């Protein structure tokens, strides 16, 4: 039996113009909906969403709020590790993602591809897990 991945301690965060549609898109490409907290008076407004990647880690986001701590929608970028980039690529194509970099074998090893989500954020999915700590 393998040990489960440690609980993530770094989370990618962003804001979305249409957080509900972003949740649907990310679930379609393989993320798992873990928590969604919406406004009581406006269910379309998402205060906080946590979507976990089944292979470890995840993202947190919510509806765009120009006041306070804010990032413009569409300005984020992520690298997501997966054992099967081809399967994620196929799900992304079915979900209507804009593929920005087809499946390829980068110089540093593994396989990867890139996409832009409906709000313009850049995502890379690849099998490269990074260098080990020395």
Per domain, the residue ranges of the chain are 12-65+72-126
Rounded to whole angstroms, the Cα distance separating 115 from 70 reads 23
Res 7: pLDDT: 66
Q: If we measure between CA atoms, which residue out of 38, 19, 15, 37 comes closest to residue 27?
A: 19
Res 6: pLDDT: 62
Provide the 3-class DSSP secondary structure of residue 21: helix
Q: If we measure between CA atoms, which residue out of 42, 40, 48, 41 comes closest to residue 22?
A: 48
- Residue 45 CB contacts under 8 Å (≥ 6 apart), including other chains: 19, 38, 39, 63
Res 132: pLDDT: 77
Res 4: pLDDT: 62
Q: Give, in order, the Cα–Cα distances in Å from 39 to each of 23, 36, 45, 48, 101.
A: 16, 10, 6, 10, 37
CATH of 12-65+72-126, one of 3.40.50.10800, 2.40.50.100, 3.10.180.10, 3.40.640.10: 3.10.180.10
Sheet of 122-126, strands arranged across: 77-81, 122-126, 112-116, 98-104
- pLDDT per residue rounded down to tens, the chain (134 residues): 455 656 667 889 999 999 999 999 999 999 999 999 998 888 889 999 999 999 999 999 999 988 877 778 999 999 999 999 999 999 999 999 999 999 999 998 899 999 999 999 999 999 988 877 76
Angle between helices 19-29 and 85-94 (to 10 degrees): 140
**Residue 132: is it exposed, middle or buried by C-beta count within 10 angstroms (0-12/13-18/19+)?**
exposed
Res 123: pLDDT: 97
């Amino acid at each position: 039996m393998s040990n489960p991945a440690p609980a993530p301690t770094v989370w990618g965060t962003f804001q979305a113009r249409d957080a509900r549609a972003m949740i649907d898109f990310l679930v379609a490409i393989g993320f798992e909906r873990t928590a969604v907290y919406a406004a009581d008076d406006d269910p379309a407004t998402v205060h906080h969403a946590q979507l976990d990647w089944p292979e470890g880690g995840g993202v947190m986001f919510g509806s765009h709020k120009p006041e306070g701590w804010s990032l413009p929608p569409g300005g984020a970028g992520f690298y997501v590790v997966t054992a099967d980039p081809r399967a994620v690529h196929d799900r992304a194509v079915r979900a209507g993602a804009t593929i920005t970099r087809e499946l390829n074998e980068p110089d540093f090893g593994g396989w990867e591809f890139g996409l832009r989500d409906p709000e313009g954020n850049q995502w890379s999915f690849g099998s490269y897990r990074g260098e080990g700590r020395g």
